Structure 1
Amino acid sequence: MLADRVIAPGDRLAVGWPKVLWLYLMLVPALLWAPAAFTWPRFVASALLTFATVGVGHSIGLHRGLIHRAYRCSRLTRGVLAYLAVQAGMGAPLAWIRVHHYRDYWQNQPDCPRYFAYRHSALRDYFWNLHLAFQPADDARYPLPAAVLHDPWLRWLDKTWYWHVLGFIALLAVAFGPEVAVVCGFARISTAILGHWFVNYMVHSYGYARYRIEQATESGYNDWLLGLLSFGEGFHNNHHAHPASAKLSTAWYEVDLGWPAVRLLQWLGLVWRVQAVGHTPTQRRRARTGPLRWRFWWQK
């Protein structure tokens, strides 16, 4: 059976040396020097940069905008948001889009390979997702957005993204000193990479769910705290059920900090035709609402 395989026949997994080297290029200086360089003003500056790059750039611009088309915007706005996503330091934008579509496709199949199914330990997932590169046998199987993948600006960013990130870290070092570069550069990016991996693993493994996706291996889970800390990305069961929604929360006690940012962009006229649960029809036809289902760590 396909679910017994790590990946589908014909697909390949190989060590992704560029992403491995990038991860530890960021992580090692952060571990060695960030504790000594820490101050509260630098921490606040790093947090603000994280909100701009991870929250606005990656979550709103890349995930909700480019991948799920939850709103419409001009090419200029899309380009600026993509550049902020690049400065999150988590990887090339088009590579992110491809991987997201690969994972989304398989998780919505009844017989999902183990690599995408999150039935393994956190340690194994750390190695699989942060050290391996998935190479599909045939891209035609996946609903990849051709117009986005051939956008000249995004293609250029995809090839040069690391130079932009390293250039910004160098600018921080020259303008404010190496300690600021460590805290607002290396430590911020390491936290973003590891934080994204951790949230993604947790909300596919544990939490509460109000939706079940028919004929899908993964319906995801919600976690209130991780949702708050990850700009709403921790409400993953909601996202599986409402993939085209720019609003990832569906209950009053779920705080999606990305949603007020989307509303601000809408108020400024930078985005329009915003799709949002509770405002427009966004529920996947295969999603069925039911009583809350909980899954805890001892049930894995």
Structure 2
Amino acid sequence: MKTDAMRFSDATSGPFRVNSLTITTDSDALSGAVRWDPLRSFWNAGMLAITLFVAPWQFTWSALAVFAVLLFATMCGGHSVGFHRRLIHRSFKCAKWVERLLVWSGTLVGMQGPFWVIHSHDLRDWAQRQSDCHPYLRHGGGLWKDAIWSLHCRLQLARPPQFDPGPGIADDRWYRWLQRTWM
């Protein structure tokens, strides 16, 4: 009989299954390199630069209120409910148009498209259940290094698990379009 710790570390079955990854005996969560990702870097640096240089001259209290409402809607409804609860964990069912609206609003957060979000989440979950994993995946580089890595880099594992977002997502033309055009 498996212990709770064994069941928790088993990413291939049970309640802690990592949905989108196919784990093989060759999959390795430790060996790999952090590489600069120019597209991600320029996107994030550009958004920060626009905010720092344009926002002070455009500030109004009503603009701040609109920002707060949209931040709440995209982070809570889009990222947390649409991306995390619906796509990653598939923890609830809803009409397809509701799912798409939630996921689309999640892309407005600006992190990436739906496939990247699913892959990043499941890869981190799987890696953190191993006896050791790359510092990028365990957030072991310290606050500033982790922030730089998250905003400007990507991890290239030497032997990553295979990724498949699964039926209803991978084969959905709308999700493929959203992944290509999220920016």
The alignment's TM-score, normalised by the length of structure 2, stands at 0.76
Q: Give the whole-Å Cα distance in 1 for the aligned partners of 2:179 and 2:72.
A: 22
2:99 matched to 1:102? no
Partner of 1:8: 30
Query: Structure 1 residues 101 and 78, CA, compared in 2 at 3 Å: closer, same or farther?
Result: same
Partner of 1:154: 175
User: Deviation at 1:137?
Assistant: 4.4
What RMSD, in angstroms, separates the aligned Cα atoms of the two structures? Answer: 1.9
Output one character per residue of 1:259-299: Cα deviation in whole Å (capped at 9) or x when no partner.
Answer: xxxxxxxxxxxxxxxxxxxxxxxxxxxxxxxxxxxxxxxxx
The alignment's TM-score, normalised by the length of structure 1, stands at 0.48
Output one character per residue of 1:57-100: Cα deviation in whole Å (capped at 9) or x when no partner.
Answer: 11110011100112111222111111111122222221111111
Partner of 1:43: 64
The secondary structure found in structure 2 opposite 1:112 is coil
Q: Give the whole-Å Cα distance in 1 for the aligned partners of 2:158 and 2:88.
A: 22
Q: Give the whole-Å Cα distance in 1 for the aligned partners of 2:60 and 2:42.
A: 28
The secondary structure found in structure 2 opposite 1:72 is coil
CA contact (8 A) 2:136 2:155 kept: no
CA contact (8 A) 1:61 1:81 kept: yes
2:77 matched to 1:56? yes
Q: 1:93 aligns with which of 94, 114, 128?
A: 114
Partner of 2:155: 134
CA contact (8 A) 1:91 1:161 kept: yes
The secondary structure found in structure 2 opposite 1:133 is strand
Query: Structure 1 residues 88 and 118, CA, compared in 2 at 3 Å: closer, same or farther?
Result: closer
Query: Structure 1 residues 75 and 135, CA, compared in 2 at 3 Å: closer, same or farther?
Result: farther
Partner of 1:71: 92
Partner of 2:12: none
In structure 1, what residue type is equivalent to 2:124? R
CA contact (8 A) 2:119 2:163 kept: no
2:41 matched to 1:20? yes
CA contact (8 A) 2:34 2:136 kept: no
Partner of 1:262: none
Partner of 1:145: 165
Q: Where does structure 1 lack aligned partners over 5 or more consecutive residues?
A: 1-6, 163-300
User: Deviation at 1:149?
Assistant: 2.9
Partner of 1:118: 139
CA contact (8 A) 1:102 1:142 kept: no
Q: 1:29 aligns with which of 38, 50, 57?
A: 50
Highest RCO, 1 vs 2 (Cα 8 Å, sep ≥ 6): 2
Aligned-pair identity (%)? 34
Give 1:214-253 correspondences, 5 Å limit: none
Q: Give the whole-Å Cα distance in 1 for the aligned partners of 2:178 and 2:165.
A: 17
Q: Give the whole-Å Cα distance in 1 for the aligned partners of 2:172 and 2:83.
A: 14
Q: Where does structure 2 lack aligned partners over 5 or more consecutive residues?
A: 1-28
Q: Give the whole-Å Cα distance in 2 for the aligned partners of 1:124 and 1:27.
A: 18
In structure 2, what residue type is equivalent to 1:8? L
Query: Structure 1 residues 84 and 55, CA, compared in 2 at 3 Å: closer, same or farther?
Result: same
Q: Figure out how many residues of one structure are paired with residues of the other and give that number.
A: 154
Q: Give the whole-Å Cα distance in 2 for the aligned partners of 1:17 and 1:131.
A: 7
CA contact (8 A) 2:140 2:146 kept: no
